Amino acid sequence: MLDTINGLPVHPLVVHAVVVLLPLAALGVIAIAVRPSWRTRFGGLVAATASLAVIAIPLATASGDSLETRVGNPGRHAQLGDTLIWFALPLLAVAVALIWRNRRSAANEPAPPRGGRPAVRMTVSVLAIIIAAANLVQVYRVGDSGARAAWSNVGNAAPAARR
């Protein structure tokens, strides 16, 4: 795998894609779960953003593994980073489920039986919000542990001598 670009590690570059795309996808899922009228207009964009995040996560973990061979084990950050894909995949799944349920509802279905389909729609929406919130928390945890691994010794370093 390409582990440097112009002498700089790829990992911080790829990580920024994850840090931007996954929270955007999570917020988008929350928005279309809460406002069903937005599913038609924004659902495809939310699913595409979640898909890009799912693609970027393995790139970030692979580039992180390459960086680890150069700078050492980042400890908890690597462990947390490896779990992120298992949060993002369900997020993508619920984004697609929300869109699919919306399209099925709009496709001239006969009236739902009493207590039937609205309960399914509500369950999918609540599940989507929970999964999106879990993604936001996990992105924060991974990012915070990465920042601590990268920058924890910076404040303790002696100041450079002035010329």
Q: Which structure tokens are listed for 86?
A: 């298992």
Residues with Cβ within 8 Å of 59's Cβ and at least 6 positions away in sequence, in order, are 14, 17
pLDDT tens column, 15-45? 999 999 999 999 999 999 999 999 999 999 9
The string of pLDDT tens digits covering residues 54-72 is 999 999 999 999 999 988 9
Helices 76-83, 117-151: crossing angle, 10 deg rounding = 160
Q: At what angle do helices 38-71 and 76-83 cross, to 10 degrees?
A: 150
pTM of the model: 0.85
Band of pLDDT at residue 115, cut at 50, 70 and 90: very low
Least confident span in 6-10, 84-88, 96-100: 6-10
